[in-house]
Amino acid sequence: MQQDIKRLPIMVGLLIGGFIGMFSETSLNIALTSLMKDLDIHASTVQWLTTGYLLVVGVLVPVSGLLIRWFTTRQLLITALSAFIIGSLVSALSHSFPLLLAGRLIQGIATGILIPLIFNTIMAIFPPQKRGSALGMVGLVIMLAPAVGPTVAGLILGKLTWQWIFWVMIPFLIIALILSILFCRNVNVVTRPKVDLLSITLSTIGFGTIVFGFSSAGETGWTSIGVILSLIIGVLALFIFVLRQLRMEKPMINVRAFKFPMFTIGTLLIMITFSIIMSSMLLLPIYWQSGKLVAVAIVGLLLLPGGITNGIVSAVSGKLYDVYGAKWLVRAGFLINIIAGVMLVNLQTSSSFVFIITANLLLMIGAPLVMSPAQTNGLNALPRELSPDGSAIMNTAQQVSGAIATALAAALLGAGEHTYFVSGGHSTVEALTNGVQYGFIFTLIISIIGFVISFFVKPAKIMEINPIKEQKISVSE
């Protein structure tokens, strides 16, 4: 049966939802001080607005492969966008921490469904030779949204209250929902496999406790019994989960995708790149506000050039992949990140605005040069039947690594401040700057690791026939 798929409106609906989802991951970073004051809560409490969001996304994404086989594309997309609108509305109307946290968790549920669905849909409606450009646009969303989150939030906080961060999201989500209702078509095959509750439980416990452990470490310390137990339980649960998937005829997530070397390497590179973005988006706003004593609205503007650059490079990198492949783009991206990392490790209270903005610009050039090519190369290496599993694995790894990177950056920030005071220092500004330097050491180290791994990147051997022809779908733009 012939089915007409209009790619453009489908892509617009998906990308708007994806952009708001990723925007939500960093938009509150710059508002944490205002939230602590308005809601009368401490830093250890307010951090759960970010941690809880990442925790829900990290737990739900692994189940996405199962959801895609149980529900149609339209059902999942419309449900996710509706949930996002509800979560944003609850957050915007909240005047207490529990209600705000509830709204954030609902947003996390929506993002956990939405992000894997984007990749699966693109892999279904675009032939392999056009996926680079399509995934380049997704790369723009994945990289640009968290990069400009603090900028937009800073501008909002300069004139309005933090609730408006959520009010701004709602009109765009409504547009995405309308486009999806009108134009989205079902491109997945609903097979309704048996639901393995044990696998769901193991993945939830595994990813959830690992994210919780790393997120708690910055507050309670790495030697805390709670942190240690969380990490041990998480690792054991994931180990049992993997063993179970390998023994199942129809696993919840087919971890055999890791048998394809380019997929494994692509997943590692995505984890490293997203860790770079999330750690820098935590550290830079703090440095601007507390190290350089810049007003919050101005901080947003100072971060804007990096966000714009990120978006441009994200869009271009997909087209460059279609022409040149992943190898050289990934190497160049990590080399640029290393240069930026060296600059950021050497930040001082006296560093010029030009120096700081230049370092951020380099970071926002290097990261998207890696993200889209590594992602496309990795997914192209998989047979079509493994695409939903590959998308779920990549997005789970991305969210978990982002949460871990944020926790490590925060822990290193605190360690640097503590070291400064122990050594006899008395300036809180100098202490903060020393802590930021410690945090960016992590960014530099993982950039170097990524550069080494990039030498193992090879062109992926596409393992499938053209899915558009196979499904006999005629596509109209």
For 379-433, write each residue's pLDDT tens digit: 888 887 787 788 778 877 887 888 788 778 877 887 888 888 888 878 888 888 8
Tokens (6 digits) for 2: 């012939």
Residue 99 confidence class, pLDDT cut points 50, 70, 90: very high
Look over the chain and give the mean of its residue pLDDT values, rounded to a whole number: 82
Residue 477 confidence class, pLDDT cut points 50, 70, 90: very low
Confidence at residue 5, expressed as pLDDT on a 0 to 100 scale: 59
Residue 474 confidence class, pLDDT cut points 50, 70, 90: very low
Helix axes of 73-93 and 163-183: crossing angle, nearest 10 degrees: 160
Residue 373 phi/psi, 5° resolution? Answer: -60, -40
Closest-CA residue to 268 (of 133, 375, 158, 189): 375
Q: Which of 10-24, 116-130, 331-345, 424-438 has the lowest mean pLDDT?
A: 116-130
- Determine the 3-state secondary structure of 93 from DSSP: helix
Confidence at residue 272, expressed as pLDDT on a 0 to 100 scale: 94
Confidence at residue 354, expressed as pLDDT on a 0 to 100 scale: 92
CA 469 to chain centre: 32
Place of tokens 């999806």: 180
Instruction: Determine which helix (DSSP H) or strand (DSSP E) holds 228, and give its type and residue range.
Output: helix 225-247
How many helices (DSSP H) and strands (DSSP E) are in the chain? 18, 2
Buried b (16+ CB within 10 A) or exposed e, 374-392: bbbbbbbbbebebbbbbbb
Confidence at residue 203, expressed as pLDDT on a 0 to 100 scale: 85
Q: Which of 43-47, 98-102, 251-255 has the highest mean pLDDT?
A: 98-102
Higher pLDDT, 401 or 232: 232
- Determine the 3-state secondary structure of 366 from DSSP: helix
Asked if residue 470 has pLDDT above 50, the reply is: no
The mean pLDDT of 326-345, rounded to a whole number, is 92
pTM of the full structure: 0.78
Residue 235 confidence class, pLDDT cut points 50, 70, 90: very high
Confidence at residue 181, expressed as pLDDT on a 0 to 100 scale: 85
- Determine the 3-state secondary structure of 460 from DSSP: coil
CA distance 347 to 287: 9
Confidence at residue 43, expressed as pLDDT on a 0 to 100 scale: 58
Higher pLDDT, 291 or 82: 82
DSSP character string of 373-384: HHHHHHHHTS-G
